[in-house]
Structure 1
Amino acid sequence: MSDMLGSALSGLNTYQRALATTSHNIANANTDGYSRQTVTMNTRNPQQLGPLTLGSGVQLSSVQRAYDQYAVVQQRSTTASFAQQDTLHSLSGRIDTLLSDSDQGLSPAMSKFYDSIQAASTDPSSLAARRELLATSSTLTARFQGIDAELSSINDETNARISASVTEINGLSKRIADLNLSISRTVGQGGKPNDLLDQRDTAVLELNQIVRVSTLEQKDGTMSLFVGNGQPLVLGTQQNTLALTGNRFDPTRAEVSFSGQGEITSALEGGSLGGILAFRDDVLTPTRNQLGLLANQLASAFNDQHAQGTDLRGDVGGDLFSIAAIEPQASSANTGTAALSVTATNTFALTGDAYVLSQTDTGWQLRNTTNKQVVSLSGDGSAANPLSADGFSMVVTGSAARNDEFLIAPTGLSAKTVAVAITDPAKIAAAANDANAGPGDNRNMLAMAGLENKKVLVNGTATLSDGVQSMLGKVAATTRSSQVGAAAQQTLLTQATARRDDVSGVNLDEEAANILRFQQAYQASAQVASVANSLFQTIINAFN
């Protein structure tokens, strides 16, 4: 009788726990990252009575979560890729809109500037036409300054986004390290921390939305996380934090360092942070450089031509535009006493790229930061024999230590500082500089009008208008490419999420069927227990 009652009680206990598990599944049907849990049952050890082997009931052997490791890894990977492309597309689109605006873009202002030159060339003695030329010149320079200010504002925003991303990464990595501790304790006690594992998977997925991480599961149930080139973000229960630091050349430019062990910004990829960094390096900085190059060579081309003419008073033309001098930036890690001065020697040979000048064991080395190529240098850096390359020269004073560095952006300040250099319309040098020139002479003004179609950019390879269109085209291409990439990654992410949900998601119809099945088994076990109890009471009563 006790055997019958014991089997019945085992059924009651087992199916009660099965119902509790099913109830847990239903309650978490809409919980993000939850994995459906299933119970596994097996028979209890039988009893041997002579030649007879009698069963002794059922027991719950485990509660497992439905989990496909490969589906989860794919979901993480596509999440990181989509977040990067989506962020890159969003930020690039803003610059695309800024530059291509039909009213506030650069092209409309340049067109009006060229139109006013043509108008002044038809009546060079007209002060009204000259005032209009100065007005459109001021509008054009203001447009350069305005676009550069907008780009600077976006740059400030990227710094703020990078800072916020570092904070989020540190918060999530701390959470994962804490979950690792709880998981390892449960595993050490022989338990199955299903809900904790789901919470950790959700945190890792959230982390991949910010930056791509690789994972490695340990035998104790913990998971280690790595970023960049394999830097350990989480090792078991130990968290290593990221830090926000300033660029060695520009303290206002946010960089990411790893636990005081050095800057790793260039190694980070994936997630929204990867998209921000790709935008800053591949779109924002090149666009600002190209904008500066356009401002610089517009000013240089018109200044050169303007100086070849004479104004209404017969004086030789001065500069029509002004731009700031080149300001190199020394690395904060420099240990020597060297200082650097940079001068543009051939403005039309400038590329618009930035350069790093480094002191090596064999002397000075110049590297283009855009294409990463070493640039051939001439000279020794003295005032008598300056270092020269790509349209600019460098004079070094003081003593440089090994690995001292300087950042040189020859056109970096041009868009921000370009301005009209004259205010008196009579000083516009419209006439040629010869004895036959008079108030109605327009030969120099016609030469300035011809600059619209003259190839002056980068050693005469493109016109200024070509440069504007090239800048717009590169931004538009990146915007379109990232849009296509984001759409493709969205499709892959949807598929990966669906695959994960097919394996781990809760099916309410299936759970409802399980409730009925387990309920019936529970009720049947209760009925067996009731019968066993009744038979036991009958036997007892027979002896009273």
Structure 2
Amino acid sequence: MSLIHIGLSGTLAAQAALNMAGRNTANLKTPGYSRQGVLLAAHSTGGVGVQSLLRFSDDYKTQQMWAANGPLGQYKTASSYFSQLENVMDMGDGSVKAGLDAFFNALQEVSTDPTSGPLRQQFLSSADALAKGFNNLQQRLSGQLGAARQHGVAAVDQVNGLSRTIADLNQKIGDGYASGSVPSELIDQRDSAIDALAGLVEIRTLQQPSGAVDVSIAGGPPLVAGSQVGTMSVQNHADGTFSFSLKLAGTAYPLTGGTLGGELGAIANFVDTTLLPQMEAIKTLAGEIATRFNSTLAAGYGMNGQPGQALFDFDPATGLLNVRAGLTQQDLGFSGNPDEPGNSDNLLKLIGLRRDNITLPGIGEVSIGDALTVLIGKVGSASQQNEALLGTATSIRHYAEDAWLSVSGVNMDEEAVNISEYLQMYQANMKVIAVANELFDATLAMF
């Protein structure tokens, strides 16, 4: 190989390396971009050439980053739902807990003068406020269930969109490899899509010889298998709950929501283990209060000596609680003797109901007066546990991202050095070409 050709090979190699360094620098802040380079090799006859283009990546670290995104998406999503539920189940003024305390306090005040019309009317008003508080709480809990269902639908749409994107990019990447190139940017796009998918649902991946990546739900059916793409869907049920399924190649697979991981797993797990039990417990508490107060009042006598009337109407199907229409303060059976309106024997039994034990779903045996405190405490405990897990998941994700960046991330200082070195290489080889031209001209001059 002549000196000119040797110098030319060096300038072309340096130019290719400079192009890669420039591309890396331009994508310094591009999320998911994997730095690229060139592998130079000496020619057997002299000179240098680009043996191959390089994409700096570590499959293990990439998969670790994907795996870390599932728990992060799960606990982060659950955190927002727990915060909402804690706001709904608060113990401040206007809460059901405050309403229940005011209800029993009003009873206690009536005991100072059982025949007082204003005190008896005040108790009726507190009962109405308590019933409205229960109904408002049930409505807000139902609203959160509806929001969770809508969130599930939106997340499923994202899963389906990302799955199609991954399958399309798999095809393009396979075509790129088949043509002998390294489709680095397409791989970056595909890996970013997989990472986003991992935040929505816990996944498992399998690298194919063609360069494609098959994606499956952890412990479940595949989402992307070759050219086939699974389609997730949400099934709504009559009671307001919902479930998930996946259809692939004409076969439908039911999915256990709580085991999906990621955002979808968080939604399903929160609804199944926290929200629905909370709704059932609130409904049960309202029903127990209605039943026990109605039966106790019926055993007493009103101001007119007639048997006491029921205080509440309760619908077991909807959980709605209301003060019975047309009920007056004179109908309240506070007296234990029909001939003594000022008798408070039955009134004391009503006050004692606060200490009665009831059985709540997911809680067990608890007194009526303490039921809401226990329910709120259970939500708070679950929320604190989730926050601790979120902190751990966040740290693991950051560690995985740092590990990925150590291999695939662009380092500005390193690229600056590369640009300087390859520029010197380019200039030196241009000098070689110039010297070769001078020698050639001098040789011609001799003749």
Kindly report the root-mean-square deviation, in angstroms, between the aligned alpha carbons of the 2 structures: 1.8
Q: Are the structure 2 counterparts of residues 516 and 456 from structure 1 closer, same or farther at C-alpha, using a change threshold of 3 Å?
A: closer
The whole-number CA distance in structure 2 between the counterparts of 1:269 and 1:64 is 36
CA–CA separation in structure 1 for the residues paired with 2:273 and 2:446: 94
1:215 Cα offset (Å) = 0.7
Shift, 1:463, TM fit: 0.8
* 2:258–2:265 CA contact under 8 A, matched in 1: no
- Render the CA deviation track for 1:28-81: whole Å, top value 9, x for unaligned: 0110011111221111133xxxxxxxxx21111112122122222222122211
> In 1, Cα distance between the equivalents of 2:267 and 2:316?
30
Q: CA separation of 1:138/1:474 partners in 2, compared to 1, >3 Å: closer, same or farther?
A: same
Give the CA deviation at 1:219.
0.3
2:441 is matched with which residue?
537
Corresponding residue for residue 301 of structure 1: 292
Aligned residue number for residue 91 of structure 1: 81
Q: 1:119: how far off?
A: 1.4
**1:420-467 CA-partner distances (Å, limit 9, x unpaired):** 1252111100111x56x4111111111101111122346993211232
- 2:310 pairs with 1:310: no
- Judged with a 3 Å threshold, the aligned counterparts in structure 2 of structure 1 residues 458 and 233 are, in CA distance, closer, same or farther, namely closer
Q: Give the corresponding residue for 1:449.
A: 351
Match of 2:127 in 1: 137
Distance in 1 (CA, whole Å) between partners of 2:227 and 2:8 is 41
* C-alpha contact 1:163 1:254 (8 A) present in aligned 2: no
Name the SS of the counterpart of 1:215 in structure 2: strand
Moved beyond 6 Å, runs of 4+: none
1:230 aligns with 220
The residue aligned with 1:257 is: 245
Segments of 5+ residues of structure 1 without an aligned counterpart are 47-55, 327-412
Q: Does 1:8 align with 2:10?
A: no
CA distance in 2, matches of 1:134, 1:293: 22
In 2 relative to 1, CA 155–216 (structure 1 residues): closer, same or farther, beyond 3 Å?
same
1:197-241: CA deviation from partner (whole Å, max 9, x where unpaired): 111111111111222111111000000101153311011233222
Offset of residue 494 of structure 1 = 1.4
CA distance in 2, matches of 1:258, 1:267: 15
**Displacement of 1:262:** 3.7
Q: What is the identity, as a one-letter code, of the residue corresponding to 1:230?
A: G
Q: 1:245 to 1:455 in 2, by over 3 A?
A: closer
2:383 corresponding residue in structure 1: 479
| Alignment partners' CA distance in 2, 1:269 and 1:438 | 65
**Counterparts in 2 of 1:456 and 1:523: CA distance versus 1, 3 Å:** closer
User: Mean Cα displacement is larger for which, 298-307 or 218-227?
Assistant: 298-307
Contact 1:222/1:237 (8 A) holds in 2: no
The C-alpha deviation readout for 1:99-127, integer Å capped at 9, x for no partner, is 12411222111110001111122222121
Report the AA paired with residue 3 of structure 1.
S
**TM-score of the aligned structures, taking structure 1 as reference length:** 0.78
DSSP-derived class of the 1:81 partner: helix
Contact 1:229 1:267 (C-alpha < 8 Å) held by counterparts: no
State whether residues 41 and 50 of structure 2, in contact with CA within 8 Å, keep that contact through their aligned partners in structure 1.
yes
Q: Give the stretch that moved more between structures: 253-262 or 21-30.
A: 253-262
Q: Give the letter aligned to residue 438 of structure 1.
A: E
Q: Given residue 169 of structure 1, which amino acid in structure 2 is its aligned partner?
A: V
Relative to total residues, which structure has the larger helix share, 1 or 2?
Answer: 2
SS at match of 1:310: coil
Shift of 1:539: 3.4
Residues 1:461 and 1:520: Cα distance change in structure 2 (over 3 Å): closer
Q: Distance in 2 between matches of 1:218 and 1:465?
A: 62
Q: Quote the Cα distance in structure 1 between the aligned partners of 2:88 and 2:316.
A: 27
Give secondary structure in 1 for the equivalent of 2:181: coil
Within 5 Å, give how 1:274-285 maps onto structure 2: 274-285=265-276
TM-score normalised by the chain length of structure 2: 0.94
Secondary structure of 1:225 counterpart: strand
Counterparts of 2:298 and 2:446, CA distance in 1: 130
Is 2:281–2:360's contact at 8 Å kept on the other side of the alignment? no
Q: 2:204 corresponds to which residue? A: 214
Deviations 1:129-157 (A, max 9, x none): 11111100000010000011111111111
Which residue identity lines up with residue 506 of structure 1 in the other structure? V
Secondary structure (helix, strand or coil) at the match of 1:118 reads helix
The structural deviation recorded for 1:258 is 0.6
Q: Is the 8 A contact 2:8 2:433 kept in 1?
A: yes
Q: Is 1:157 the counterpart of 2:147 in the alignment? A: yes
Q: Distance in 2 between matches of 1:177 and 1:525?
A: 45
TM superposition shift of 1:273: 2.0
Q: Percent identity?
A: 30
The 1:219/1:63 distance shift into structure 2, 3 A limit, reads: same
2:418 corresponds in structure 1 to 514
Change (3 A) 1:131 1:516: same
CA distance in structure 1 between the partners assigned to 2:125 and 2:315 by the alignment: 21
Equivalent residue letter for 1:254 = F
**How far does the alpha carbon of each residue in 1:452-509 deviate from its partner, in whole angstroms, 9 at most, with x for none?**
1122346993211232122111101111111111111111111111111122111111
Q: Which residue of 2 aligns with 1:38?
A: 37
Q: For the Cα contact (< 8 Å) 2:311–2:323, is it kept in 1?
A: yes
> For residue 146 of structure 1, what is the amino acid of its counterpart?
N
Q: 2:185 aligns with which of 180, 195, 211?
A: 195
Three-state SS of the structure 1 residue aligned to 2:357 is: coil
Partners of 1:103 and 1:228 in 2: CA distance: 45
Give the match for residue 504 of structure 1.
408
Counterpart of 1:8, as a letter, is G
